[in-house]
Amino acid sequence: MNRTLCWLTWVGALLLTTSAQAAPAPQGMALIPAGSFEMGDHIGFVDPKHGGDETPIHTVRLDALYLGINDVTNREFCAFLNSALGARSVEVRQGGVYPAGGQDLLCETRAMSPYSRLWWDGAKFTVLDGKDNHPVVCIRWEGAALYCNWLSAQAKLPLCYDPATWACNFNVSGYRLPTEAEWEYAARGGLKAPYANFAWGNEADATRANWPESKNPFRTGPLPWTTPVGFFDGSLRRRADFAWPDAQQETYQTARGTNGYGLNDMSGNVWQLVNDWYGRDYYAYSPADNPPGPDKGSLMPDGKPYRGMRGGNWFNGENGHGRVSNRNPSYWRGPEDPNHPYYHIGFRVALPIDAEKRPVTRLTPAQDVPRGAGQGQPGQGQAKVVVRLPSRCRRSRAAWP
């Protein structure tokens, strides 16, 4: 059976069995209103390893959508895996989860990675270490895409992803990963006067997010040091409620990291995969309306393209690389790139509204753009570049191509 036919069989099975299963949905979706913003770095941060990929600043207009309030959790992803297992559409090989008969790794279980919170006992998937409400990690882009299709199937919505090609249909209103533009627009939470450096403002406050600088009580014990989704909401947290590993802290006072649209963890905790291929120079030729990303990605030092990720993480970088405009391909994961663990990469889901009424959306043909081209005045699809090297830079990156 070929992969497309296998996928269609799975969807049919899901639709027939959904009513008999407790099928969890994301923990809530926030409405992100239609609007426009100036996408890119407004602060003047220039990374010496890849300066310029956040410029030129350019105007982007986006239609309304819903976005997951939280990252997808271990519990939610585990439910997807068990549903897919029941439909015989996934299989486990050497601790990795794959489409039945396919070669695309969807996620790692503990047998493949010591950092995964997903356990496979030969019959079902479960969550380890009491981390049900922590963001799922050790997943791959393809696994996130199939999770989105699974949500769509349960809600009887059209499927966005074709697993034979991994192409996304932007003109159907099903679950998918957010585009890079949708993610940044939503992450800014409506802050535009002035544009801010983080999801809540300009203050680099480590009590608002799970960054390397944070002293929250989950930053001890076995890796990964994730926190539960929505942990940084401004409330006083108690060890009795969370059973965190730091026995020296009975309470922990968080500051509010939730942004103006009600989204949690848009800075730190785990990187969030986006739909787009990472195109280093995409901002120089991105369309203004609902930009879907380039049709191919920039090649990394290993000669391969990678999908983008946003939002920063618990593991490395000043402020966890959690600036709202920061762009990273999923190649760059730490000191062992590109073989570093995926223990700090997760995702959240998007649900477009009335996508069928939009003009037909296709990926933007990638262009070769000389470095520094198109840099001019903000607001005209171009940017005024301000070179300011950071006082601290802990990105472990080789020279970019």
Domain spans, the chain? 3-201+261-357
- Compute CA distances 60 → 63, 205, 209, 289, 364, whole Å: 10, 28, 27, 6, 14
> What is the C-alpha to C-alpha distance for residues 325 and 169, in angstroms, rounded to an integer?
26
List of long-range contacts for 278-282, beta carbons under 8 Å, 24+ apart: 278/305, 278/306, 278/307, 278/308, 278/327, 278/328, 278/329, 278/330, 278/331, 279/366, 280/50, 280/53, 280/400, 281/52, 281/53, 281/367, 281/368, 281/369, 281/371, 281/373, 282/364, 282/366
Residue 172 has pLDDT above 60, yes or no: yes
- If you count them, how many residues does the chain have? 401
383 confidence band (pLDDT: 50, 70, 90):
very low
25 confidence band (pLDDT: 50, 70, 90):
very low
Residues 241-272: pLDDT tens digits? 999 999 999 999 999 999 999 999 999 999 99
**Whole-model pTM over 0.85:** yes
pLDDT at 52 (0 to 100): 84
pLDDT at 85 (0 to 100): 96
Return the CATH number of 3-201+261-357, one of 3.20.20.60, 3.90.1580.10, 3.40.50.620, 3.40.50.1000: 3.90.1580.10
pLDDT at 14 (0 to 100): 44
What percentage of residues in the chain have a pLDDT greater than 70? Answer: 84
Q: Are 277 and 294 in contact (CB under 8 A)?
A: yes
Q: Are 39 and 52 in contact (CB under 8 A)?
A: no
Q: Are 361 and 173 in contact (CB under 8 A)?
A: no
Nearest CA-CA partner of 342 in 205, 209, 223, 189: 223
Residues 291-328: pLDDT tens digits? 999 999 999 999 999 999 999 999 999 999 999 999 99
Q: Are 352 and 62 in contact (CB under 8 A)?
A: no
> What is the C-alpha to C-alpha distance for residues 341 and 332, in angstroms, rounded to an integer?
11
Q: Are 226 and 131 in contact (CB under 8 A)?
A: yes
368 confidence band (pLDDT: 50, 70, 90):
confident
Backbone torsions φ then ψ of 79, nearest 5 degrees: -60, -40
pLDDT at 370 (0 to 100): 72
> What is the C-alpha to C-alpha distance for residues 170 and 80, in angstroms, rounded to an integer?
23
